[in-house]
């Protein structure tokens, strides 16, 4: 389902969280494109800025603290950062929908699931439609995610975790959005349910031709669902490429190498995994040069003083001094 | 299949009712309150208003009897009729004033809880000022300035309760507004007003109901105390507070004049408080059993 039509274009996005006491540099100049029907995986540790990126696209950053200080987010040629709020309200849910991390908290406990799905419909595509049409569409969406329509009158607490996540997905897909942002959609679920939910997301995405941004810290999920991958570290995309570049390519950013080193491998026998030493840098006080330099096993003098530039190799981009000369 | 769906649909209200029924005190409150409301609504059919204001000097100061259940007062008026018709005033002032302060409190509480920021700071400091003035004193001042009639009395006692409503609603909303399902509603494209009304209010309805019943009880008392001071409903129209005030001069020879309106005030506020307590327990899912 991949075409060359760019549906989302993000350039140099920088997001800060500002309070009276400190400024947190959450996202520091990331750029990427999303094409129609394509799935982009964004992987990274907790606090790498993945969710902040997602919230910036929908302009849902916390009003008082979150500020986009630079860059552009173009959705079908329109810069969302300059769009009026009413326009954003039309886009949210209808054009760009989001699946939140925790289905236990992302459903309103006092509204029945049918009401919550109908809510999205009433706000957008089914604004002027009659009640029975909305009911019919609600049933259809529920069936799509494998829930009996009879259960739409139930409340969230009457569903299991996996079923709740299905409801959340049903809400996100109700208006058949152009882009689906899934923010760690399976983190709160147990492994068997994870597989079910992922298979379902993949199938529905194929069927509806939706583009997707899959935010996760699980490389396994990326391998299963994504076409392109971006590795995020301290608010930067340090390595991007198509799935093959990241998983089977020969050269990698030392951080990506470290990530793969901390996953158990079925084929080789090891007693211990090798995690990356240290912690993410304090986002209020980022290192001057390469953000990964304090933890990098191959750190050089130049890494401490100058920020690395993207080294581009076909579809593969690495932000590291080691690969300066790899330009093809 | 259809039956089970119907059952589940009503599940929530039924569940609350089932738990409320288990509390004997709450049921007592509900029954007493219902009697009060019923007799206030149908007072005219039980005994005409005329009997409550018609003076009959020959029958003055008679103790309770089969003719006059609660006796007669210094002008020979039937005390039962006066208490009964007084309840129309006392209860409606209590309920209307509560409704008024609830509406204003809801408007400001929801706005400041949801938007926060400078608006929040300004409104809350204003509420601090309002609650620093003693409630009775403020009500006295307002009635004295605007003149004593039913509308002014309602305004006077409603204003003093606004800060409490604003604070409670603001706190309840602050507890909900940052939850993920509110963010999810925003991500679905819902506007602010829709989020407040459809997603937040149903979550704080329990707190609201309880606060409302308690406030109604307090405001019945407040309206009675203002009338007792002569600033509420004017004679000869009966009101519980003014009945007590009139009975004061006959405290020794005819104590029953004070007992019956007093009992009416005590029973109505007690029943509201008991019902409020019961509702709080019934609406709290953590006490589910």
Task: Please determine, for residue A298, whether its predicted confidence score (pLDDT) is greater than 80.
Answer: yes
- Asked whether the beta carbons of residue A64 and residue B117 sit closer than 8 angstroms, the reply is yes
DSSP annotation of B38: H
> Which among B254, B231, B258 is positioned nearest to B82, based on CA atoms?
B258
Task: Please determine, for residue A313, whether its predicted confidence score (pLDDT) is greater than 60.
Answer: yes
Question: CA A314 to CA A317: how far, in whole Å?
Answer: 8
Which residues in B lie closer than 8 A to residue A123 (C-beta atoms)? Answer: 188-190, 194
Which residues in B lie closer than 8 A to residue A97 (C-beta atoms)? Answer: 187-188
| pTM of the complete model | 0.78
Which residues in B lie closer than 8 A to residue A105 (C-beta atoms)? Answer: 179-181
List Cα–Cα distances, B271 to A257, A309, B71, B266, in angstroms: 71, 75, 25, 8
Tell me which chain B residue has its CA closest to the CA of residue A107.
B181
Which residues in B lie closer than 8 A to residue A168 (C-beta atoms)? Answer: 184
Query: What confidence tens digit (pLDDT) does each residue in A255-290 have?
Result: 998 888 888 877 877 778 888 888 888 888 888 889
- Asked whether the beta carbons of residue B180 and residue A101 sit closer than 8 angstroms, the reply is yes
Q: Is A167 within 8 Å of chain B by CB?
A: no
Question: CA B16 to CA A184: how far, in whole Å?
Answer: 36
Instruction: Spell out, as residue ranges, where chain B has pLDDT lower than 70.
Output: 1-12, 284-289
- Asked whether the beta carbons of residue A89 and residue B12 sit closer than 8 angstroms, the reply is no
Closest Cα of chain B to A82: distance in Å?
17
Q: Which residue in B9, B184, B190 has the most chain A C-beta atoms within 10 A of its own C-beta, making it the best mutation to test that interface?
A: B184
Average pLDDT over every residue of A141-156: 88
Answer yes or no: are the C-beta atoms of A173 and A137 closer than 8 Å. Answer: no
Identify the pLDDT of residue A1. Answer: 45
Q: Is A148 within 8 Å of chain B by CB?
A: no
Closest Cα of chain A to B186: distance in Å?
8
Q: Is B190 within 8 Å of chain A by CB?
A: yes
Closest Cα of chain B to A54: distance in Å?
11
- Give the SS3 label for residue A285: coil
Q: Is B175 within 8 Å of chain A by CB?
A: no
Identify the pLDDT of residue B287. Answer: 58
Identify the pLDDT of residue B271. Answer: 95
Question: Considering chain A, what is the average pLDDT of its residues?
Answer: 87
Which residues are within 8 A (CB) of A85 and not within 5 positions of it... i.e. 6 or more apart? none
Which residues in A lie closer than 8 A to residue B187 (C-beta atoms)? Answer: 58, 60, 92-93, 97-98, 100
Answer yes or no: are the C-beta atoms of A42 and A213 closer than 8 Å. Answer: yes
Domains and CATH numbers, chain A: 6-95+177-326 (3.40.50.300), 96-176 (no CATH)
- Asked whether the beta carbons of residue A97 and residue B181 sit closer than 8 angstroms, the reply is no
Query: What confidence tens digit (pLDDT) does each residue in A215-224 have?
Result: 998 888 898 8
Instruction: Give me the residue spans of the domains in chain B.
Output: 28-41+72-287
Closest Cα of chain B to A284: distance in Å?
23
Answer yes or no: are the C-beta atoms of A175 and A124 closer than 8 Å. Answer: yes
Tell me which chain A residue has its CA closest to the CA of residue B199.
A108
Q: What DSSP element (H or E) covers A306?
A: none
Query: What confidence tens digit (pLDDT) does each residue in A240-264 have?
Result: 999 998 988 888 899 998 888 888 8
Identify the pLDDT of residue B110. Answer: 93
Tell me which chain B residue has its CA closest to the CA of residue A116.
B185
Which residues in A lie closer than 8 A to residue B6 (C-beta atoms)? Answer: none
Closest Cα of chain B to A92: distance in Å?
5
Q: Which of A60, A94, A153 sits opposite B186 (nearest CB)?
A: A60
Q: Is B119 within 8 Å of chain A by CB?
A: no
Query: What confidence tens digit (pLDDT) does each residue in A42-70 have?
Result: 998 888 889 999 999 999 998 888 899 98
Identify the pLDDT of residue A195. Answer: 86
Question: Distance of alpha carbon A72 from its chain centroid, rounded?
Answer: 17
- Asked whether the beta carbons of residue A93 and residue B189 sit closer than 8 angstroms, the reply is yes
Q: Is B198 within 8 Å of chain A by CB?
A: yes
CATH of domain B28-41+72-287: 1.10.3720.10
Q: Is B3 within 8 Å of chain A by CB?
A: no
Which residues in B lie closer than 8 A to residue A93 (C-beta atoms)? Answer: 187-190
Q: At what angle do helices B24-41 and B79-115 cross, to 10 degrees?
A: 120
Task: Please determine, for residue A28, whether its predicted confidence score (pLDDT) is greater than 80.
Answer: yes
Within 13 Å of residue B289, how many CA atoms lie on the same side as its CB? 7
């Amino acid at each position: 389902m991949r075409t060359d039509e760019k549906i989302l274009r993000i350039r140099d996005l920088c997001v800060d969280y500002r309070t009276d006491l400190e400024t947190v540099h959450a996202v520091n100049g990331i750029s990427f494109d999303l094409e129609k029907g394509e799935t982009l995986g964004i992987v990274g540790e907790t606090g790498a800025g993945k969710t902040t990126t997602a919230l910036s696209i929908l302009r849902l950053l916390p009003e008082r603290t979150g500020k986009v200080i630079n860059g552009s987010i173009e959705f079908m040629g329109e810069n969302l950062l300059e769009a009026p709020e009413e326009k954003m309200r039309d886009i949210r849910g209808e054009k760009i929908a989001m699946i939140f991390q925790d289905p236990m908290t992302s459903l309103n406990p006092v509204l029945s699931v049918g009401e919550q799905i109908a809510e999205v419909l009433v706000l957008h595509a089914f604004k002027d439609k009659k009640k029975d049409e909305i009911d019919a569409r609600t049933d259809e969406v529920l069936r799509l995610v494998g829930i009996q329509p009879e259960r739409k009158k139930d409340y969230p607490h009457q569903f299991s975790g996996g079923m709740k996540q299905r409801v959340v997905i049903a809400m996100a897909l109700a208006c058949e959005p152009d882009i689906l942002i899934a923010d760690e959609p399976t983190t709160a679920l147990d492994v068997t349910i994870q597989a079910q939910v992922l298979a379902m997301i993949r199938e529905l995405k194929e069927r509806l031709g939706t583009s997707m941004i899959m935010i996760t810290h699980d490389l396994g999920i990326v391998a299963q669902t994504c076409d392109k991958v971006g590795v995020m570290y301290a608010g930067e995309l340090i390595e991007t490429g198509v799935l093959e570049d990241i998983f089977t390519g020969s050269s990698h950013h030392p951080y990506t190498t470290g990530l793969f080193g901390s996953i158990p491998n079925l084929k080789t026998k090891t007693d211990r995994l090798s995690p990356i030493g240290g912690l993410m840098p304090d986002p209020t006080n980022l290192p001057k040069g390469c953000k990964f330099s304090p933890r990098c096993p191959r750190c050089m003098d130049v890494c401490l003083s100058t920020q690395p530039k993207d080294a581009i190799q076909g579809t593969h981009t690495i932000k590291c001094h080691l690969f300066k000369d790899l330009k093809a | 299949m259809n039956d089970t769906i119907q059952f589940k649909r009503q599940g929530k209200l039924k569940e609350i009712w089932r738990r409320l029924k288990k509390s004997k005190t709450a049921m007592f409150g509900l029954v007493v309150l219902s009697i009060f409301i019923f007799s206030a609504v149908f007072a005219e059919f039980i005994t005409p208003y005329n009997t409550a204001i018609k003076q009959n000097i020959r029958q003055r100061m008679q103790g309770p009897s089969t003719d006059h259940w609660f006796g007669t007062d210094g002008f020979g008026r039937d005390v039962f009729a006066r208490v009964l018709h007084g309840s129309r005033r006392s209860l409606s002032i209590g309920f209307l004033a509560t409704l008024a302060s609830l509406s204003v409190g809801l408007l400001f509480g929801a706005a400041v809880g949801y938007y926060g920021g400078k608006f929040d700071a300004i409104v809350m400091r204003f509420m601090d000022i309002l609650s620093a003035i003693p409630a009775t004193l403020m009500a006295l001042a307002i009635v004295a300035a605007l003149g004593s009639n039913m509308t002014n009395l309602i305004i006077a006692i409603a204003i003093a309760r606004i800060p409490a409503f604003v604070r409670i609603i603001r706190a309840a909303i602050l507890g909900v507004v940052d939850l993920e399902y509110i963010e999810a509603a925003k991500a679905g494209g819902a506007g602010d007003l829709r989020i407040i009304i459809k997603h937040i209010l149903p979550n704080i309805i329990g707190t609201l109901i309880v606060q409302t019943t308690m406030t109604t009880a307090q405001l019945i008392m407040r309206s009675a105390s203002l009338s007792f001071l002569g600033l509420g409903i004017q004679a000869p129209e009966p009101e519980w507070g003014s009945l007590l005030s009139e009975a004061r001069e006959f405290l020794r020879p005819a104590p029953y004049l004070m007992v019956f309106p007093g009992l009416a005030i005590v029973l109505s506020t007690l029943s509201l408080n008991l019902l409020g307590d019961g509702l709080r327990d019934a609406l709290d899912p953590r006490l589910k059993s």
